[in-house]
Chains A and B, each alone.
Chain A
């Protein structure tokens, strides 16, 4: 293990390149993808690995994202380790098949580059695409930067394929900000990744003709309900598996991941909850504010499905007020999805901090340090005054 640590290679890669490198090292049996926008550069780069003979993967160029997910499900049901990638409206077009992948308990790993949904037409970052898919039955892991995308993808293979889980996983990065931004990334050696993900054995492959079986038959009032309950229990069981695999990965890489990451929460009186690349910018602001003597901290959500309710309650146990940041709106009039779910989790907590929702960064609107500082100062006001929380605020929007 110590050798694996030493043999890591630091290089400068874009988020897309880091994801494509993870895919090359995982070397799935099949990748099916629609090759035209809104596809990501991840698949474009991976297709060059295929044509250069660097991987033995069978690459299927299909005619839509709906077909890409269908083909990936078919290949995985046959017993292959199958992957695809998408973004934005491409994910929206997969919708029907997302539920089918999860309902069939097909362990697909899919990188998603978070981008806004139309209309109006916009190609830039927000979380509307994957937040819309949050109840499709997929595990969702959000990455702060290119390194986390790489690390999360490698872990996701083991989580998805674990016999206690058998659920599909989407691993996300912020569009353009991370996908097209270049940063330092530490890469594991090819063989180390291959050994970590191991050889894949789907327990119920259709191509095992010695043991004929049906995948996806009709179940009506008689058994559908039991299947759905099984699916919910698999999602519940995934929590223990995600932890075990994070620990395994930490021994290999020196990088430890949890459901949430607490940043300077020790002694903090107020905090922000955030996911994706904005967590990095918020860390920068926390460092500045801490130097000025402010008692603030940050909680980053890494795993959004299953939702880390108990972990968030623990992280916010000593906090008086919290700002919960959403890079998408659910249009429920009750705030964005991160806000609604965090608030619901806190209802059972022994400490119930005042909460305020910040909708920010829609359609790629830049979230600069001064805006995050403004949010922190407003949350501080909430923590130190008699003001009541619960409001929904829009950060960085024209009034």
Chain B
């Protein structure tokens, strides 16, 4: 990894955008990367638009301002299209990951995205989550998709670390942990296929 990787997550309060950033940072730190994960704090309400960020690098990170030019952007809620400009600051080599059942071409048209060099991946993370975990919380599948798009680590490394984290969070609810593992794997493979 030659340069510092910067990532922005868009979600609604309750969808787990903050948790996705934290889980990615923890997993990347576990494979020896330097990491940052931090949310942009506004009024915290269920359903309100929220943003969180990651920085990941092979070298120590000292910068402590908000991410302005993220190369990777994950959108956990497709209803943002038209309401929030989540391409703000993205370079021409940028990558968008959208939680949507639509194809990337449909999303491009709906967003009126003119820049051909920006890559758009779509995956139905809410449906994956519903089918595997039993709840439409799209953050862990989007985490799998982000790891596939960035290539910052392998799927096995991600699964191992995330399992450890979730085992602490969901003590006594093993079905949630197994469901999350399947969700992450499915999303990872979905992005790799595209």
Report which A residues bind B (CB closer than 8 A): 10-12, 123-124, 144-145, 174, 176-178, 180-184, 277-278, 280-281, 283-284, 366-369
Please, how many angstroms separate the alpha-carbon atoms of A11 and B30 in the complex? 7
Question: Which 8 A-B pairs rank lowest in CB-CB distance, beginning with the nearest?
Answer: A181-B38, A12-B29, A280-B62, A182-B37, A277-B64, A284-B63, A368-B65, A283-B62
The 8 A CB mask of B16-35 against A (1 = contact, 0 = none) is 00000110011011100011
Of the residues A10, A124, A366, contact of B65 by C-beta under 8 Å: A366
B60 / chain A contacts, CB cutoff of 8 Å: 184
* Contact across chains for A184 and B66 when beta carbons are under 8 A apart: no
A-B contact pairs, 25 of them (CB 8 A): A10-B29, A11-B29, A12-B25, A12-B26, A12-B35, A144-B62, A145-B62, A176-B41, A177-B64, A180-B38, A180-B41, A181-B38, A182-B21, A182-B36, A182-B37, A183-B36, A183-B61, A184-B60, A281-B64, A281-B65, A283-B62, A284-B62, A366-B65, A366-B66, A369-B63
A11-B29, A12-B29, A124-B41 as given contacts; A183 in contact with B35, CB under 8 Å: yes
CB-CB nearest in chain B for A182: B37
Secondary structure dominating the interface of B: mixed
Give the residues from 82 to 100 in chain B that come closer than 8 angstroms, CB to CB, to chain A. none
Cross-chain contact A281 with B62 (CB below 8 angstroms) = yes
Q: Which residues on the A side are within 8 Å of B35 (C-beta)? A: 12, 182-184
B residues contacting the other copy or chain, number (CB 8 A)? 22
What residues of A have a CB within 8 angstroms of the CB of B28 in the complex? 12
Q: Does residue B68 face the partner (Cβ distance < 8 Å to A)?
A: yes
Task: Flag whether B78 is at the interface (Cβ < 8 A).
Answer: no
Give chain B residues whose Cβ lies under 8 Å from the Cβ of A123.
41
B63→A182 contact, CB < 8 A = no
Kindly state whether residue B39 has any CB partner on chain A within 8 Å: yes
Which chain A residues lie closer than 8 Å to B25 at the CB level? 12, 182
Residues of A within 8 Å of B41, CB to CB, are 123-124, 176, 180
